[in-house]
Amino acid sequence: MFPYLCKMNSKRIGIIGSGSWATAIAKIVTDNGFLLNWWVRQASNIEYFQKRHHNPHYLRNAYFDVSKIEFSDDVSKVVAGADIIIIAVPSIHIEVSLAGLDPKAFEGKKIISAVKGVIPKLNILLNQYLADKFDVAIENYFTLLGPSHAEEVAAEQLSYLTFSGVDLEATNKIAACFKNEYINTIINTDIYGVQYASIVKNIYALGAGIAHGLEYGDNFLSVYIANAGREMKHLLSAVMEKTGYSCDNIDYSASVYLGDLLVTCYSLHSRNRTFGNMIGKGYSVRAAELEMNMVAEGYNACKCIMAINENVNASLPIITSIYKILWEGADPASSFKEIEKILI
């Protein structure tokens, strides 16, 4: 029987990652009374955290009771000392972040993914990578997705988190551990679909930012997002059919699909929208990366999804156009003139 984790406050939760989303999740975990093992890559950041009680680089207004936290720059130590592991690093850093772990490191543990990207070059989801490298069964794998923004969580503005897992009872119990006065939780069993939705919505948000940078107005953006939602549904359905994975009665208008797409395309907190806005205003990709000093998951995601789609063969005109702008140097203004023609 899966333990009722919310009553296990003596158990530790581990977090791998120390960016803005990892920090927001850590706030929820410690606010809910759990002890936390936290992997922070740089020892100097740990020293700062212990002294000042907040992250030196992200969500600096979120303060922590550090007596509840055991920091370490050794990922093996963090994993060994925790019962539940939350992975919250950008997808491009997954392989490096987990490289020092023993193949049996996750044995007997529950893994929660807060990753919104594909493993680059391998073009696979995190659960597939963990299964290949660490023999993690899908029954022990859960996802923690939006719609949400780290900044709003840190400010304790009401946010909704969606937890997905193939075992509905276990997913319910995992989700209950995160619910509090400013977090509402939703559950579903579409573990593949929600991950792909979280990946492509970042690509569409990049496009929304490009459109804003090109000075398109609200009317165009609403039409663009409606078409992006339709394209996303087409891709998710095609992936499910190709892989043989199915989940009955998926409601693609639910918050983890459409809601996350909307907030990522519209919100000023969205780093993907911000990145795209710079591209639309004439920044090069490299200049935008340097200016933001944060990872916009949609940039690498569009290359990965294009590779994945070679086997899926879904019609993705919007994603294809964004890929050409970011990876092939296509002119944003000309590309969006072509996008105008296919929107309905």
- List, for residues 26-50, the tens digit of each pLDDT value: 999 999 999 999 999 999 999 999 9
Rounded CA separation 69/47 (Å): 13
The answer to whether residues 103 and 238 belong to one domain is: no
The answer to whether residues 156 and 110 belong to one domain is: yes
Residue 292: band (very low, low, confident or very high) from pLDDT cuts 50, 70, 90: confident
Q: How many domains does the chain have?
A: 2
* CATH number of the domain to which 16 belongs: 3.40.50.720
**Given 150, 167, 189, which residue is the final one in a domain?**
189
The answer to whether residues 112 and 225 belong to one domain is: no
Question: Are 185 and 160 a contacting pair, CB within 8 Å?
Answer: yes
pLDDT tens figures, 304-328: 999 999 999 999 999 999 999 999 9
The answer to whether residues 126 and 268 belong to one domain is: no
The answer to whether residues 105 and 119 belong to one domain is: yes
Give residue 1's pLDDT. Answer: 34
**Across residues 155-177, what is the average pLDDT?**
95
Give residue 7's pLDDT. Answer: 52
pTM of the model: 0.93
The answer to whether residues 68 and 198 belong to one domain is: no
Q: Is the pLDDT of residue 249 over 80?
A: no
* DSSP conformational letter for 215: T
The answer to whether residues 196 and 185 belong to one domain is: no
* DSSP conformational letter for 91: G
**Given 189, 216, 233, which residue is the final one in a domain?**
189
**Closest listed residue to residue 115, CA positions, set 125, 104, 123:** 125
The answer to whether residues 315 and 220 belong to one domain is: yes
The answer to whether residues 31 and 104 belong to one domain is: yes
pLDDT tens figures, 60-100: 999 999 999 999 999 999 999 999 999 999 999 999 999 98
**Given 189, 211, 245, which residue is the final one in a domain?**
189
The answer to whether residues 71 and 126 belong to one domain is: yes
The answer to whether residues 155 and 219 belong to one domain is: no
| Structural domain containing residue 36 | 5-189
The answer to whether residues 101 and 79 belong to one domain is: yes
Question: Are 232 and 261 a contacting pair, CB within 8 Å?
Answer: yes
Average pLDDT value for the chain = 93
